[in-house]
Amino acid sequence: MTPLRVGVVGAGRVGSVLAAALLRQGHEIVAVAGESDASTRRARMLLPGVPLRKPTTVARSCDVILLTVPDDMLGNVVTQLAASGSLHEGQYVVHTSGSHGLAVLGPAAAVGARPAAVHPAMTFTGTPIDLERLEHCVFGVTAGSAERPFAEALVADLGGEVMWVEERLRGLYHAGLAHGANHLVTLVSQAMELLGTAGADDPAAILRPLLQAALDNALAEGDAALTGPIVRGDVNTVRAHVAELATTAPDTLPSYLALARATLDRVVTDGRVLPIRAAAIRRVLDTAETAAAPRLAASREELGAALEPARAAGQPVVLVPTMGALHAGHAALLEAARVRARDGVVVASIFVNPLQFATGEDLDRYPRTLDVDLELCARAGVDVVFAPSTEEMYPAGDPEVTVDPGPLGEVLEGEVRPGHFRGVLTVVAKLYGLTRPDVACFGEKDYQQLVLVRRLARDLCLGVDVVGVPTVREDDGLALSSRNRYLDAGQRSRATVLSRALDAAADRAAYGLPAARWAAMRVLDEDAELDLDYLAIRTPELERVSDEHPAAPTDARILVAARVGATRLIDNRSIVLGPVG
């Protein structure tokens, strides 16, 4: 292929390695864009001398732009690059996502760019070793007829081989890879942990020959390669496995049960297990799933009884306070808590706290979905759910002693919702007292709350490690919230203006606070019906930031609150003010 000017947006493990491979083939890497420190270090290691620039600058300076960003970010990145005028007619816009095809590149195609989806079916370390692994790597490629020769030549220069994937089958293609490779890593890691717990000094050495033989046999023979207690119909062996996992490795039990069911279904279909034995194994698996449901405590006494064994054994207790109406964002909190707890106890509290609602707010209509919440908690590995009534939490009515949040509780959310954080910190303090946790997990979406509960634990020496968990977003950027269910279809579409404003600010943050704020306001002003409460840029501890342009990159947090229709939404994200290149 004729040498091309190539730019990379997303200097992660994949982007840096692919760029280095193209550089070896004589192509010019004009610039790369990457946000994290790890990306910056990786780009400098694999692409010495290649400048780090903003995504828009990278896009304007190249003939071929590689978009190697996470799947969930890809749509927003393409839309922003196209809207900013950074893409041009005839430019090749190539993404490396396995799950996306050409549809996500629609905004690029609309301005005359030539789209292609080129996914390497390989796992990357982000180190030079990947360059050798690219040899004969298969790339799942989706491209129009006019772009096919270019895509084929690009893959050849990367050292790979093309597998053409139809647009409509892109998701199925990627699911096959993810299930076979990504989930395999999880499975092997869990198996190593079990062997380590069982006393193995080198679990990898034990598993390596077994797994290599199993993989080779499976690739050659498919289901015929299945062996083990499920295939033999050994009910008592499966029962013993389940009992041991429930006691020793409860985090691994759900995946064991799921794979045992899948294996059973396959061997029943081909007749290797008699129906009567299959039914007995299913009963064992069903019983294990029922036993894995979290223990529900509605009173202080029930909560104490549920936590006493862990306390007596010196096991860690990790608390996740919620108001219920749980969604994927809460699931991320609970899963983070499960990781922190290890063999300890995860407690999720579900309590709609009246102290943090002002008159006229949505206390009465706040969604209450306990049965559904318990199912989500079970899937996330929660051990105890504390779901008290208002009378249980405040038996004498509103408490006479409350927690003063200090000056930070009177600005931003505190200014719009007077008394809100007094109510939040009071209930959190009570939950700390009732559960005595070692760790508490809170979401970054309620960022001001996160900062305040950290100060609560620090200033009052409560001995709780407060962990912040990143915000979970929809594919279009909207932060997940229990209040999103209040939005109708039109309002739901409009609500993305908040995250788009934050992203616009992040894109201009290198030019300082005024530029970042102007960029965000420009996006917010697109919605004339939006009722803005505030837009603020603060330090990570929510102190005020100077308008002066910083001499060095400075971490900051931009926060926004607004009403879309009658629904009040908040959002935030981290940004870096000042020069980043």
Task: Kindly list the catalytic residues.
Answer: 330
DSSP run (H or E) holding 115: strand 114-120
Residue 322 per-residue DSSP state: E
Q: Are 143 and 162 in contact (CB under 8 A)?
A: no
- CA-to-CA distance for 173 and 543, rounded, in angstroms? 48
- CA-to-CA distance for 131 and 18, rounded, in angstroms? 8
* Identity of the amino acid at 171: G
Going by C-beta distance under 8 Å and a sequence separation of 6 or more, which residues neighbour residue 241?
229, 256
The number of residues making up the chain comes to 581
Going by C-beta distance under 8 Å and a sequence separation of 6 or more, which residues neighbour residue 70?
10
Locate 266 and state its tokens.
Answer: 């396959």
- CA-to-CA distance for 409 and 542, rounded, in angstroms? 11
Concatenating the DSSP letter of every residue in 488-514 gives -HHHHHHTTHHHHHHHHHHHHGGG-HH
Locate 41 and state its tokens.
Answer: 């270090």
DSSP reduced 3-state for 533: strand
Q: Does the CA dihedral 259-265-270-273 come out positive or negative?
A: positive
Compute the chain's Rg from CA coordinates: 27
- CA-to-CA distance for 100 and 171, rounded, in angstroms? 7
